[in-house]
Structure 1
Amino acid sequence: MAIIVSFDFPGAGQELYDSVIERVTQGQGFTRFADLPNTGLLSHAAGPVDGGFRVTEIWESAEALEHHARTFGPILADLGHGDIQPTIFPAHNVVLR
């Protein structure tokens, strides 16, 4: 079952997001996040919100997200945001264009 995941980073901005993406892409030999082989990732969007930054994703399953978290979790912890708990809920409908 597809899931929707939202990560809020209070007090953070695009700099944090760009730092995370840079570390992930460099470690795998890619220059863009969109080129990473994130198996199970259907959609990814990120941008500023009042008081911070938000990343919202749609994943094919909770297992796919958990696999992905093994890469991003340690990077976020290293950058001082290891305590971020995402909001996760089942997707009733997903439209991709």
Structure 2
Amino acid sequence: MAIVVVIETPGMNQAMYEQGTDRLTGGRGVVKKASDWPVPGLISHAAAPTPDGWLVVDVWESEDAFRKFGEHLRPMLREIGAPDVEPKIYPAYNVVTS
């Protein structure tokens, strides 16, 4: 079952996001397609600044796929100095892609 993952990270900014995605993609920069991620299963990804930090909203094929990604994500977030936050995970009711 697909899931929606919401990660709100106070204190994070666009430069940190770009640094993090560059690490996740092995130096290829900001992610432009799902196949750039280090594990399969990403359906969609959106990132945006918020008044107090950074927001990421992903859709994953399954919670297991996201958990595997988390094995890459958490160490990377620590390396760039982002605060440790717990993602909010919701079962997807409807997913529309282009």
**Cα distance per residue 1:36-90 (max 9 Å; x no partner):** 1541100000011121110100001000001111111111112223521111111
Structure 1 runs (4+) deviating above 6 angstroms are none
Match in the other structure for 1:2: 2
Report matched runs for 1:64-75 at 5 Å.
64-75=65-76
Match in the other structure for 1:57: 58
Root mean square deviation of aligned Cα: 1.6
Alpha carbons of 1:32 and 1:9: their partners in 2 closer, same or farther (altered >3 Å)?
A: closer
Report matched runs for 1:10-89 at 5 Å.
10-26=10-26, 30-33=28-31, 34=33, 35-37=35-37, 38-81=39-82, 83-89=84-90
Segments of structure 1 that go 5 or more residues without pairing to the other structure are none
Give the stretch that moved more between structures: 18-27 or 68-77.
Answer: 18-27
Count of aligned pairs between the two proteins: 95
Alpha carbons of 1:48 and 1:32: their partners in 2 closer, same or farther (altered >3 Å)?
A: closer
Alpha carbons of 1:44 and 1:25: their partners in 2 closer, same or farther (altered >3 Å)?
A: same
> Is structure 2 residue 92 aligned with structure 1 residue 91?
yes
Instruction: Give the fraction of aligned pairs with identical amino acids, expressed as a percent.
Output: 37
Distance, in Å, in 2 between the alignment partners of 1:11 and 1:83 is: 11
Distance, in Å, in 2 between the alignment partners of 1:81 and 1:8 is: 11
